[in-house]
Amino acid sequence: MSLEQLIYNCKNNNREAQAQLYKMFAKKLYGTCLKYSRNQVEAEDNLQDSFMVIFDKISQYNFKGSFEGWLRRVTVNTVLQKYRTKGIFEIVNERVLKDVPVTVYEEDVSLDYLLHIVQELPDRYRLVFNLYVLDEYSHKEIAEMLGISEGTSKSNLARARMILKNKIESFKKKIAINE
């Protein structure tokens, strides 16, 4: 069955088609959820919630543009909506910090460690960091998505980078001491 036919079947609430669509895209969308979640359990919950929204809104997909891109946007928006509902962005202080570059060499830290420390970031910093650095949204787009100002987006990114830089430097010092 073609992807187009599968989508049509999902639009008609065909449970078998929905299960097949889930099977096709769950791993990729789980990776997206993992980037925006604090841990694996939260990512799994976000994935399930995202598929509920996907199946609810699939009738809105009009076969223009990438279906996978549409799935990803729905997933990111579903996760971000959960955080907006929690009110984590209701901070008024918009003092923009000087942006700190974070350079990581593969031999410095593992990808697992990087994912771990990004997941440990406070929600507002993690979300802005992922949207800006990993998904390449502009501060203007992030501000619109999260309902914050561009200044707050820039400030949250700078704070995220500062935290990550400090954690990586501490990690490297520990390794140097143990060698």
Per residue, the 3-state secondary structure of the chain, as one string, reads CCHHHHHHHHHCCCHHHHHHHHHHHHHHHHHHHHHHCCCHHHHHHHHHHHHHHHHHHHHHCCCCCCHHHHHHHHHHHHHHHHHHHHCCCCCCCCCCCCCCCCCCCCCCCCHHHHHHHHHHCCHHHHHHHHHHHHCCCCHHHHHHHHCCCHHHHHHHHHHHHHHHHHHHHHHHHHHHHHC
For residues 30 and 79, state if they share a domain: yes
Q: How many domains does the chain have?
A: 2
- Does 105 map to a domain? no
For residues 153 and 118, state if they share a domain: yes
For residues 73 and 146, state if they share a domain: no
For residues 157 and 115, state if they share a domain: yes
Q: Where residue 24 sits, what CATH number does that domain have? A: 1.10.1740.10
Report, as an integer, the average pLDDT of 65-90: 85
* Mean of per-residue pLDDT scores for the chain: 87
- Does 158 map to a domain? yes
Q: Which domain holds residue 38?
A: 3-86
For residues 116 and 82, state if they share a domain: no
Q: Using pLDDT thresholds of 50, 70 and 90, give the confidence band for residue 91.
A: very low
Q: Which pLDDT tens digit goes with each residue over 107-162?
A: 567 888 888 899 999 998 999 999 999 889 999 999 998 888 999 999 999 999 99
pLDDT of 103: 53
For residues 77 and 10, state if they share a domain: yes
- Does 116 map to a domain? yes
Q: Which pLDDT tens digit goes with each residue over 49-69?
A: 999 999 999 999 999 999 999
